[in-house]
Amino acid sequence: MLPQDIEDLAAAVVEAAARTGVMVATAESCTGGLVAAALTSVAGSSAVLDRGFVTYSNEAKMEMLDVSGDLLVRFGAVSAPVARAMALGAVNHSRAATAVAITGVAGPGGGSADKPVGLVHFAAVGPDGAVAHVERRFGDIGRDAVREESVRLALGLLLTAVAA
């Protein structure tokens, strides 16, 4: 069972996408498909959700979303350029006009001084092709909490992009 606020956000995304006739896609790394799962928990989501990409590895990001190896080497998987590339790749490899992407360090390990546990990058592509980026440093609040907060923020970004 999803927290009520996440259910409500997912329902708002589905409603807005249906109202505006916009198909959506997701590109997820650290959330492992949780955003797509939240959307598919809403009745009627099949009319607006085209697909979700779970691209946990760098290879998956490159193969499924055309994220360039150069971006991954220069900036790392957890970065603004990679989040943007993931969102654009999701649109380019789907029937969706709008997509949200999430890449981060959920923990408990894997963090560094530059990219600590709790750092998550988000990007959303709107129907007009504009890409919005958000960086959040949730802190070392626990893996589940980082992922849950990331779902909330991603759904909010998607709602803004779909409603624009």
- The domain that holds 147 is classified in CATH as 3.90.950.20
Q: What's the domain range around 69?
A: 4-163
- 51 and 96 Cβ atoms separated by less than 8 Å: yes
Summarize pLDDT for 13-47 with one digit per residue, the tens. Answer: 999 999 999 999 999 999 999 999 999 999 999 99
H, E, C per residue of 66-124: CCCHHHHHHHCCCCHHHHHHHHHHHHHCCCCCEEEEEEECCCCCCCCCCCCCCEEEEEE
Question: Which tokens belong to 16?
Answer: 């807005």
Query: CA-based diameter of the chain, in Å?
Result: 44
Angle, alpha carbons 162-48-131 (nearest 5°): 35
Are 116 and 140 in contact, with CB atoms under 8 Å apart? yes
Chain centroid to CA 108: 20
For 106-163, the pLDDT digits (tens) are 999 999 999 999 999 999 999 999 999 999 999 999 999 999 999 999 999 999 999 8
Look at the chain and report how many structural domains it folds into.
Answer: 1
